[in-house]
Chain A
Amino acid sequence: GAVVSQHPSWVICKSGTSVKIECRSLDFQATTMFWYRQFPKQSLMLMATSNEGSKATYEQGVEKDKFLINHASLTLSTLTVTSAHPEDSSFYICSAQGHRETQYFGPGTRLLVL
């Protein structure tokens, strides 16, 4: 149980395009989902907290107009990187919160912006 999927697993795009990443909790409902970013050899960095039916809460320094988050249902949250640039290239990981605040992570999405 407690499986979280992400799609796509990797994406290569041209600078200036937008990329949407989906995060789904497959066998449980998640009121809260989280989006993280991780650069090579660095720690997980929380970008935003996504609550179903309400606006996401962004961490300091994360541009909400650039990283659009939608959590329209209890099993789906999406992250859209708008007008992506090479510095946005990273490993994006979502997690869904289950019982007793346990976070279950998706497999991650590697984004490469050329």
Chain B
Amino acid sequence: QKEVEQNSGPLSVPEGAIASLNCTYSDRGSQSFFWYRQYSGKSPELIMSIYSNGDKEDGRFTAQLNKASQYVSLLIRDSQPSDSATYLCAVNYRYSGAGSYQLTFGKGTKLSVIP
């Protein structure tokens, strides 16, 4: 069973602080990892993708991957009230022999940035 675990939160941080979101996954064969942001009532929006161990930075966002520990994280620096949303971790896995992949999503962590 492919599983992706996230702390459901809510995670509350003050404006300007660093928000740290964590995710663990069960399939050691997974090669692609994603963070999506979902505002209430909206569809998910891709924030970051990461494929190699280490850090990947994009603006205020940094994704971190540790395949040995099966751990992915997302750091949001200088958090803003507009960052308040649910953050979904997603991990790929192959679901057929033809090279087809699906994503397994975590249940999401709700982040609240307090002004």
Q: Which residues of A contact B (CB under 8 A)?
A: 2, 32, 34, 43-44, 46, 49, 51, 57, 93, 97, 100-108
Contact residue among A32, A43, A44, A102 (Cβ-Cβ distance under 8 Å from B100) = A32
Q: Which residues of B contact A103 (CB under 8 A)?
A: 34, 46, 90, 103
Q: Which residues of B contact A49 (CB under 8 A)?
A: 95, 100, 102
Q: B105 within 8 Å of A by Cβ?
A: yes
Contact B101 A105 (CB under 8 A): no
Distance (whole angstroms) from the CB of B47 to the closest CB of chain A: 11
Q: Which residues of B contact A (CB under 8 A)?
A: 32, 34, 36, 42-46, 49, 51, 88, 90, 92, 95, 100-103, 105, 107-108
Distance (whole angstroms) from the CB of B112 to the closest CB of chain A: 15
Contact B101 A102 (CB under 8 A): no
Chain A interface, >50% SS class: strand
Closest B residue to A92 by beta carbon equals B43
Contact residue among A57, A93, A97, A104 (Cβ-Cβ distance under 8 Å from B101) = A97
Contact A101 B42 (CB under 8 A): no
Distance (whole angstroms) from the CB of A62 to the closest CB of chain B: 14
Chain B interface, >50% SS class: strand
User: How long is the Cα–Cα vector from A104 to B49 in the complex, in angstroms?
Assistant: 12
Contact residue among A51, A100, A107 (Cβ-Cβ distance under 8 Å from B49) = A100
Q: Which residues of B contact A106 (CB under 8 A)?
A: 43
Closest B residue to A102 by beta carbon equals B49
Distance (whole angstroms) from the CB of A95 to the closest CB of chain B: 8
Contact A101 B105 (CB under 8 A): no
Distance (whole angstroms) from the CB of A7 to the closest CB of chain B: 14
A sample of 8 inter-chain contacts (CB < 8 A) reads A49-B95, A101-B92, A102-B32, A103-B34, A105-B43, A105-B45, A106-B43, A107-B42
Distance (whole angstroms) from the CB of A83 to the closest CB of chain B: 26
Q: Which residues of A contact B105 (CB under 8 A)?
A: 43-44
Contact residue among A46, A97, A102, A108 (Cβ-Cβ distance under 8 Å from B43) = A108
Distance (whole angstroms) from the CB of B65 to the closest CB of chain A: 14
Q: Given the interface contacts A43-B105, A44-B44, A107-B42, does A101 sit within 8 Å of B32 by beta carbon?
A: yes
Contact B51 A100 (CB under 8 A): yes
Q: Which residues of B contact A2 (CB under 8 A)?
A: 46
